[in-house]
Amino acid sequence: MTATEPERAPASSTNRGMSRRELLKTAGLASAGAGLARGANGSSGVFDYRLLLGWINDNSSRPLAGKRWPITDVDEQTVLEYSAFLKTAHECGYNGITLWGLYASHAWAVQLKDSLEPRRRHLIDRILNTADKLGIKVLYGLGVYSWGFEEIIRHDPTTARNEGRMAWGSFQPDNGVAMCYHSESARQWMRDIVDLCVKEVGTQGFGFQSGDLGRCYCTQCRRLSDTEYHSRVIDETAEYIKRQHPKQILGLSAWGVDLGGGPDSLQPLARHLDFLTDVTDQSARQGRDHRRALTAALPCALGSLGGAVIVPPQRWPRDRWFLPHAEMTATSIRSLSEDGGRAFEFFMGPLGNPQYNLMTRFVGLLLNNPTQSCERTLTQVVDRLWAPTNGGAEADLVRWLLAVERAYMTRVGDISSGEFDFEPLKGETAGEPIYLTRLPPRALAGYGSDLERLSQQLPSLISQCRRPRELQLIGRCLENVLRDVRQVRERVHGSH
């Protein structure tokens, strides 16, 4: 049996007919150069925006600790790891990556250029060059009016009003993090940062977020609904970029932004965007018809993170977890595709962890062929990674992976709408396995006994593969998961 070469969309397409909507959009924005590589055939369902997403170190092969999350250190090893990571991304058909923390995480320096420290810049430039050579666009993960402004607000108090902020539906009286939409100086800071990213960093687009840390709730801003507020700060920034830098690709991860108002209310938010990522699948929850109406009416592509956003544990040894989620993610991608969605961002993690190696490849292949079944796509990945020597072993491996997934997913309840963490992101050291403590005692016991049984099946599967090393690593991961299960049962649930 030969390894299956992933089917990949061509890097660019010039022969595709344009839909009326795209034509209108292009005419309206004069942005024909914008957008990512498209599939060769507009009707094949290939996603236009096939993106990876994460903080710069989320895919690190080393556990990182000793600082508050997110840790954004980069060094020579980071550059080497990105070479391998981006090569895999290319091979699996991704065409972009949204990176957070290239420069500045919580705070831009007041002298903006000081944020681009020369030694770091040398390293980041090399990562961006690698991506460029592979045809993978790098989008700069950018906080819009919030995330990154702690220093600027301290230095220039005209940017913010200290009248509290509204974050995730609740009022927070403190506000050192969100600038005010009604501040002229805030607008100028935002524009200066964007110009810096385009001209100095060489970014090819932006992944915006405006809602995660909350938004200004001063007497003027609170007259605006959340949707109106976010629409204004996003559109103010997006319109500026499309005017000044028309080739930049613009997307919004709508963390903390209510999309419930329907297509009309979202026009001002989306009109200068290329894609809008519904991070918690709010629109799907309102019904498939609702989401279909939304994708038809939006001036940009609608996207998703797959519902459940599986965040890699930044501070754990890389062999401490293994939780494949192919079936869950395939269901999400297929339904999004059927509803007309054309953007997807996969939250990246370390390829040195077999779950992420498997899922990164799986998602990339599906985004290029969303009508292909979960099993067929998994088979492609299994062949490529482990080279089973016979059809029986190939099918057994696929069934085995699905059984490992179901052992957890059928017991955890609904995780399809938001962030899923293995460990808490708080603190500076490796945290507790909260993905296990969230299971009720009986469910955890059942998960443990299923994993024991599945682990015992692994040696026979390994013996039928030409490339067994990663399967052996999966065995080690499962041993470590089982150790965590036992410890949680003893410590938290008092079982022996």
Is 298 a binder of Zn ion (CB under 5 A)?
no
Give the separation between CA 294 and CA 260, rounded to whole angstroms. Answer: 10
Cβ-based nearer residue to Zn ion, 166 or 254: 166
Question: Minimum distance between the CB of residue 278 and Zn ion, rounded to whole angstroms?
Answer: 26
Which residue lies nearer to Zn ion by CB, 219 or 456? 219
Q: Any idea which residue has 């150069």 for tokens?
A: 33
When asked if residue 218 is in the footprint of Zn ion (CB under 5 A), the reply is yes
Name the minimum Å distance from CB 170 to Zn ion.
17
Range 221-260, binding Zn ion (CB under 5 A):
221
Query: For residues 197 and 191, what is the distance between their CA atoms, to the nearest angstrom?
Result: 10
Name the nearest CA neighbour of 136 among 242, 37, 46.
37
Q: How far apart are alpha carbons 339 and 298 in whole angstroms?
A: 13
Residue 216 as a binder of Zn ion (CB under 5 A): the answer is: yes
Helix (H) / strand (E) containing 172: strand 170-172
Pairwise CA distance, residues 153 & 130, whole Å? 35
**266 near Zn ion (CB under 5 A):** no
CB of 218 to Zn ion, least distance (A): 3
Give whichever of 218 and 273 is closer to Zn ion, judged by the CB atom: 218
Determine the Cα–Cα distance for residues 326 and 365; give it in Å rounded to an integer: 12
Tell the smallest beta-carbon distance from residue 222 to Zn ion (Å): 8
Task: Identify which of 282, 288, 299, 163 has the alpha carbon closest to the alpha carbon of residue 231.
Answer: 299
Q: Which of 180, 302, 378, 462 binds Zn ion (CB under 5 A)?
A: 180
In the complex with Zn ion, which residue's Cβ is closer, 216 or 351? 216
CA dist., res. 244 & res. 17, Å (int) = 28
Judged by beta carbon, residue 136 or residue 190, the one nearer Zn ion is 190
| Smaller CB separation from Zn ion, 193 or 218 | 218
How far is it, in rounded angstroms, from Cα 321 to Cα 478? 7
Does 308 help bind Zn ion (rule: CB under 5 A)?
A: no
**Residue 398 touching Zn ion (CB under 5 A):** no
For the CB of residue 256, give the shortest distance to Zn ion in the complex, in Å. Answer: 16
CA geometry: angle 93, 99, 105, nearest 5 deg: 170
Residue 444 to residue 412: CA distance in whole angstroms: 9
Residues 6 or more apart whose CB falls under 8 angstroms from that of 421 comprise: 311, 313, 434, 435
Residue 157 CB, shortest distance to Zn ion, in Å, is 13
According to the binding rule CB under 5 A, does residue 166 interact with Zn ion? no
Stretch that binds Zn ion, among 84-92, 205-213, 218-226, 309-317 (CB under 5 A): 218-226
Nearest distance in Å: CB 267, Zn ion:
23
> For residues 157 and 392, which CB has a smaller minimum distance to Zn ion in the complex?
157
Rounded Cα gap, residues 99 and 123, in angstroms:
14
> Considering beta carbons, is residue 175 or 304 the nearer one to Zn ion?
175
Q: Judged by CB under 5 A, how many residues of this single chain contact Zn ion?
A: 4
Which residues lie near Zn ion (CB under 5 A)? 180, 216, 218, 221
